[in-house]
Amino acid sequence: MVAIAIEADALSKRYRIGELQAAYGTLRESMSHTAKRLTGQEHRRGYEEIWALRDVSFQLEEGKALGLIGRNGAGKSTLLKILTRITTPTEGRAEIRGRVGSLLEVGTGFHPELTGSAPRSAGAWAACSRWEQASTLSSPEGRTCS
């Protein structure tokens, strides 16, 4: 039986655009807001809901790599942020066994003079612990860790 490293079950992420105002205001603004709320004069501002992910499910076996390809706004970065615990899903769950590293920035890890496998191994090496990195610097195999 093959061990599952990442399991995503019905992951969804919703953002509400325009819902929140600045976290800190002046004392005058706070008092005015409280007075309007108590007297029923507060007008709720509308907001727009945007679903960055909707019902995404998959399993990734241990030792396998995952690449996300899609158009702008498809939810690739949102999925990586959920899997690396940068943000929480609105619905669903993600179970991760072991360490996970992601390259979230466009162009991260790519160098025009390297081969196709070199950026991948450099990215994997960056996900290693400092001790593993230090112990592999002098290894004849290069930048690899378990």
Give the Å distances, CA to CA, from 140 to 93, 134, 144.
41, 13, 10
Are residue 60 and residue 120 in the same domain, yes or no? no
CB atoms within 10 A of CB 9: 15
34, 103 contact by CB (below 8 A): no
In this structure, what are the phi and psi dihedrals at residue 34, rounded to the nearest 5 degrees? -65, -45
* Count of CA atoms in the C-beta half-sphere (13 A) of 80: 13
Are residue 122 and residue 82 in the same domain, yes or no? no
The position carrying tokens 């158009």 is: 71
Are residue 87 and residue 45 in the same domain, yes or no? yes
Are residue 86 and residue 114 in the same domain, yes or no? no
Q: Which of 36-50, 55-69, 129-143 has the lowest mean pLDDT?
A: 129-143
Percent of the chain with pLDDT over 70: 61
Are residue 139 and residue 68 in the same domain, yes or no? no
Indicate which CATH number applies to the domain containing 64: 3.40.50.300
Are residue 54 and residue 122 in the same domain, yes or no? no
Are residue 24 and residue 83 in the same domain, yes or no? yes
4, 57 contact by CB (below 8 A): no
Task: List, for residues 61-115, the tens digit of each pLDDT value.
Answer: 988 888 888 898 899 989 989 998 889 999 999 999 987 766 666 555 556 665 5
Q: Looking at residues 3-32, what average pLDDT do you find?
A: 82
Are residue 85 and residue 66 in the same domain, yes or no? yes
